[in-house]
Structure 1
């Protein structure tokens, strides 16, 4: 496993941020890490990056302990914090050269390519930049040394839609090149578009780890069925997995959890004339987990 945690716990005074987190992220995947503010996402990321010490438990990256072997871990990751700041009196180019030198040197052509893709002006002073342009600098410093693992905390905040799309393309290319990406984001549509696996964090602990396809397969589906004649509302209400049935003239609106196979087996003899399926997206699935007691 590229990332592995065992009973990882972090408390700030009496307030728990992580509560016995067990997490495994294999090589070569894009892992989406989801949860609202206060769930423990940023705390996890800062521990993985060697910027926080856990209260108890342990975390390893590339098999190296993030506390004992912090420098070895940091040399192999590209890290973008959620509150990225850079030296305001340096130009973007000077800052990226400085960061590259700290990592043993970075090919200037790599930085130039990233700047072109992100529409980043390397000659502009960081302190005079908009929030979105400063975020581009942060992305460039995380990518420019071609790290084996990218750890990104809310990377698209402040970016315009065109740059967001380019950034998502960069993530896909990193995964195709065999890199591992650990991505925390509030923009669930972006995570859905690129993630192989999603982890949902709630109150400092994982409540689910699954692929987006697996989550959708277990999610609630909303269906509108129209019938030529009799509407079998009560028959459909008795089908396992059907949680809601609302008759409406010649049709019904249903909510189904999991497979719809049995539902259609019961409905088919009643001559269905129309089917509209409202497929769940990652946001709906996420809210489902946060709606559970």
Structure 2
């Protein structure tokens, strides 16, 4: 069974269409990265999935149930962490965590204490005294201690320092190993790259690409750094070469994956002294999509899954 499935999901606010036929699928035991710039439609999609907003057209299902009609039932098996957490100012962090766990009927005091320790939270302080990062910790501890089947995480690490970000990543990996499913909306591309099995890119309310990182890398460029015995001439004319930068004897440039073979044959004529190659990052992929707003990717506007 698919854990999350949206079909032609459309959401209009008056004349403005925030989501235009979004198709999204999260499989059991999968970490799905949901990325796009601010205002692209990530949070709107998540609010529809949570049953906070009603779709204008199309459908959204979680555990095979309707996200709007069956929201109460779905929420018994789901944990959600927003990017900006609001807490009761007069309660302590520990009291808020206990309240959330009690609402879910989770008696796991050991898990609660373990996560408080891992995230280095002082649970005795009132929530009004907490920094943004500490408020995020309260929400993350409440979510991970609850042992949900599905985690919906919308920019969950905003305000966390790099050390705590690493703790968060470990928690996600552990949840995945335990067979849980995770929808992770993030703008931290390194986080997505490290954690996600598949990625969906949304832009202006439309899904423009979906696939595994390896599948997407076919559409990206390899970064090369080379040094040669003889100066290379005519590289600008070689098909598939982009962004050439010269620095003394070294050249750095990007190559479309499908032209790598011809480019390598061309540059080796000049006597290679040094060659460094690095795979394209999600950042490269992201930038390529946002550089050319008018063009759909080779996979078509809906992507593939």
Normalised TM-score (structure 2)? 0.88
1:245 Cα deviation from its structure 2 partner? 5.2
Corresponding residue for 1:262? 262
Corresponding residue for 2:300? none
1:231 Cα deviation from its structure 2 partner? 2.7
What pairs up with 1:137-176 in 2 under 5 angstroms?
A: 137-176=138-177
Where 2:222 maps in the other structure, the secondary structure is strand
Gaps of 5+ in 2: 295-305
1:108 Cα deviation from its structure 2 partner? 1.4
**How many residues align structurally?**
291
Corresponding residue for 1:275? 275
Where 2:137 maps in the other structure, the secondary structure is helix
C-alpha distance in structure 2 between counterparts of 1:244 and 1:125, whole Å: 52
- Sort the Cα spacing of 1:246 and 1:110 in 2 relative to 1 into closer, same or farther, 3 A: closer
Where 1:85 maps in the other structure, the secondary structure is coil
C-alpha distance in structure 2 between counterparts of 1:275 and 1:172, whole Å: 34
What pairs up with 1:69-108 in 2 under 5 angstroms?
A: 69-108=70-109
1:232 Cα deviation from its structure 2 partner? 4.8
Deviating more after overlay: 223-232 vs 8-17: 223-232
Deviating more after overlay: 150-159 vs 118-127: 118-127
Corresponding residue for 1:18? 19
Corresponding residue for 1:290? 290
1:248 Cα deviation from its structure 2 partner? 7.2
1:83 Cα deviation from its structure 2 partner? 2.5
Gaps of 5+ in 1: none
- Sort the Cα spacing of 1:251 and 1:156 in 2 relative to 1 into closer, same or farther, 3 A: closer
Where 1:275 maps in the other structure, the secondary structure is strand
1:39 Cα deviation from its structure 2 partner? 0.4
1:103 Cα deviation from its structure 2 partner? 1.2
1:246 Cα deviation from its structure 2 partner? 6.4
Q: Deviations over 1:247-279 (max 9, x none)?
A: 777665433112412321333344322223354
C-alpha distance in structure 2 between counterparts of 1:192 and 1:249, whole Å: 33
